[in-house]
Structure 1
Amino acid sequence: MLPWALPFVLPANEAAFWTANILGRALVFGIIAMSLTFLATYGGFISLAQMMVAGIAGYTLAILVDGAVPHILGGFGYGAAIPLGLLAATLMGLLVGAISVRTRDIYLLMITLALAMGVFRFIETNIAWFNGYEGIRNVVGPTLFGQDFRNPLVFYHIALATAVLLYAGILYLVRTPFGLVLQGIRDNPRRVAALGYSVGLHRIAAFGVAGFIAGCGGILSTIYNIGISPGSIGLGATVNVLIMSVIGGLGHPVGAFIGSLIYTVFDTFAATIYDRDRFNTLIGVVFLAIVLVSPDGAIGIGARLRRLLARRP
């Protein structure tokens, strides 16, 4: 079934809930997780700063847009504030890449995590620009063709269109000379450097692309939550994005959306299925089970099932 038609086949009494709280939220998380998956799949490095980069886009939107509470800068319509938020996220992605360009593996993980937590603490304690712990509210999104942006159907289809365009953009980008060089750097950076390519600049540019992708998710997340607060870019949110990416599988960008959907479903219903006070335990068990059964995540499980079915007479 085509994804755009999903809200129309759900039961009428549950359509709004599933469209907004499950499908729409999974798409938003999936876009942010896809920025991490893009770096891991085609660059060979994992960044723990992607949720922070998404938050930069969200905070830029909230600070600039007219009508947000509290009024910090304001005066901008969504048509100007959204591109500026994406620009801010892209620049932050480039900055993260420039700082971490000479690190790899666990050192890359630690420096990107340190950057994410540093920005989180700065935002959390800054009242003048970010309103500290309380964050910024009333970021309701624009009105499109007379429709409220936060209408479940409208939001879902905008998030879906954004996800499809970004996904298609990644598949196109990795086939360009830039994408091929990036994959060469993933496999053998010394050989790529010997061919005359700048390994450092390509890695920084990859972080910039991932920053733009995360920024799209950050803009949608801020409108979905009608605002943004420091908790949305804290350690818990950072780890959740990593969990989604690993559950879905780091071998292909589509794994980000599979993982985000699995995580969103369990995050929504785990308290009812297991225990309201220990619902994170169930999420952790599901995460461990998928990783132990298939280190490639849900994509790996699907590939194994296809191979088993192909062998049957």
Structure 2
Amino acid sequence: MRYTVIFIPMLLMPLVLNDFWLTQVLTRSLILGIVALSLSFLATYLGVVSFAQAGIAGAGGYTIAYFGPNTVAIGVELPFWVSIPLALICATVFGGMIGLVARRSRGIYAIMITLAVGVAFFYFTRQNYTLFNGWTGFSGVRAPMIGGTSLREPAPFYVLSLTAAIASMVLVSGFVRSPMGLSIQAVRAAPGRVMALGIPVTTPIMAAFAFSGFLAGTGGILNVWYQERISSFSVGLGPIIDILIIAVIGGLRHPGGAFVGAIVFVLLDTFAVDLVDRERFNTLIGTVLLLIVILAPNGLLQLALDGAAKLRRHNHNQQNMSNQ
């Protein structure tokens, strides 16, 4: 029900917004939010902050570029209904493999391992020309036509991104209530007790990373269609940090905060040039991030939830006083 309340008004956005706001702001925010959601999921339910999510998204993006239409004459073009599952499988398997590598790590050690994997993937894509076309990457990667509707148009692509975002939130909500989701949360809370019960912790950890890989891969596919290209720059240190910033701004412990952080980040990225010199954008982002960490350490979403709760308590107290 709560997702319907969000979905319906956002579905009407193409009727009230021009193509700039629809594409450059909302659609981009939804795509980045899906990738950031994969990080927030791990942080919330497994207690691990992963720096490999941009790389996992890139794995899905590279797969859709390699097996889809492009202008670099590399790859094998397949129908979209084949290439999309292949891309999601690739991202899911990549995520699971990272979980296998990082299964014994927590805290700063998990951060360093996932960061090492992300950076290694960045250099691999830059140096490999057979699969990734090295520095240049892929261009001309465009969204397909489905039922006579071109997903390259702003409104259809926005609806596709919105549907993917809502579906991702629904999947997270359902997955965390499943037996495997509960096992993942148990591993986060008390891994020693889980092992004492005879349950191997490797499987839940790999499942969590694989599921996050599926989410990141979904965002990666959409991002390639949005940018119509992908290169090593798409999986470099910049995107890695951007995803973390988005998750922290919205609230690292709240999956829904990924989309709140994404819209704030995109607005700053889009209109910062009107406020400061473009070269000082990172300074602006750093300042905003610092203020949020100080004033709202749990993110903007938690700040909004706390404010709403205080308002409800205030209204309730006022009502009680008037009844007396």
Q: TM-score, normalised by structure 2?
A: 0.92
Counterparts of 1:194-213 in structure 2, within 5 Å, are: 194-213=196-215
Q: 2:153 maps to which residue?
A: 151
What's the secondary structure of 2:199's corresponding residue? coil
1:264 Cα offset (Å): 0.6
Out of 130, 138, 141, the residue aligned to residue 139 of structure 1 is 141
Aligned to 1:214: 216
Structure 1 counterpart SS, 2:252:
coil
1:292 Cα deviation (Å)? Answer: 0.8
8 A contact 1:98–1:204 mirrored in 2: yes
How far apart, in 1, do the equivalents of 2:203 and 2:181 lie?
13
Alpha-carbon deviations, 1:80-105, whole Å to 9, x = none? Answer: 11111111101100110111111110
Q: Using the alignment, how far apart are the partners of 2:145 and 2:266 within structure 1? A: 27
Paired AA for residue 180 in structure 1: L
Is the Cα–Cα contact under 8 Å of residues 135 and 229 in structure 1 kept in the other structure? yes
1:249–1:259 Cα contact (<8 Å) kept: yes
Of residues 262, 285, 288, the one that matches 2:287 is: 285
* Counterpart-to-counterpart distance in 1, 2:198 and 2:297: 35
Question: Which structure 2 residue ranges, 5 or more long, are not aligned?
Answer: 1-7, 319-324
Match of 1:185?
A: 187
Shift of 1:311: 3.6
**In structure 1, C-alpha distance between the alignment counterparts of 2:216 and 2:43, rounded to whole Å:** 14
Which region of structure 1 is more displaced relative to structure 2, 293-302 or 192-201?
Answer: 192-201
1:35 Cα offset (Å): 0.4
Q: Which of 21, 30, 33 pairs up with 2:33?
A: 30
Amino acid at match of 1:277: E
Distance 2:290 2:251 in 1: 13
Matched letter for residue 45 of structure 2: Y
C-alpha separation between the residues in 2 aligned to 1:8 and 1:54?
30
**Superposition deviation, residue 45 in structure 1:** 0.7
Q: How does 1:157-176 map to 2 (within 5 A)?
A: 157-176=159-178
Distance 2:253 2:125 in 1: 33
Superposition map of 1:248-259 within 5 A: 248-259=250-261
Please say if 1:57 is aligned against 2:64: no
Partner of 1:231: 233
Percent sequence identity over aligned pairs: 42
2:262 equivalent to 1:260: yes
Query: Counterpart in 2 of 1:272?
Result: 274
Q: Which residue of 1 aligns with 2:11?
A: 4
Q: Distance in 2 between matches of 1:23 and 1:259?
A: 12
The offset of 1:304, in angstroms, is 2.4
2:106 is aligned with 1:99 = no
Q: C-alpha separation between the residues in 2 aligned to 1:279 and 1:93?
A: 31
2:12 aligned counterpart, secondary structure:
helix
Number of aligned residues: 308
- What's the TM-score once normalised by structure 1's chain length? 0.96
Moved over 4 A (4+): none
The code of the aligned residue for 2:145 comes to T
Judge which range, 26-35 or 268-277, deviates more: 268-277
Cα distance in 2 for partners of 1:222, 1:59 equals: 8
1:27-62 deviations in Å (ceiling 9; x for gaps): 000000000011111111111001000000111111
Deviations 1:154-190 (A, max 9, x none): 1110011011111101101111111111111111111
CA–CA separation in structure 2 for the residues paired with 1:196 and 1:60: 38
When the two chains are superposed, the root-mean-square deviation of aligned CA atoms in Å is: 1.2
Q: Give the CA deviation at 1:18.
A: 0.5
Q: Quick one: which of 124, 129, 136 aligns to 2:126?
A: 124
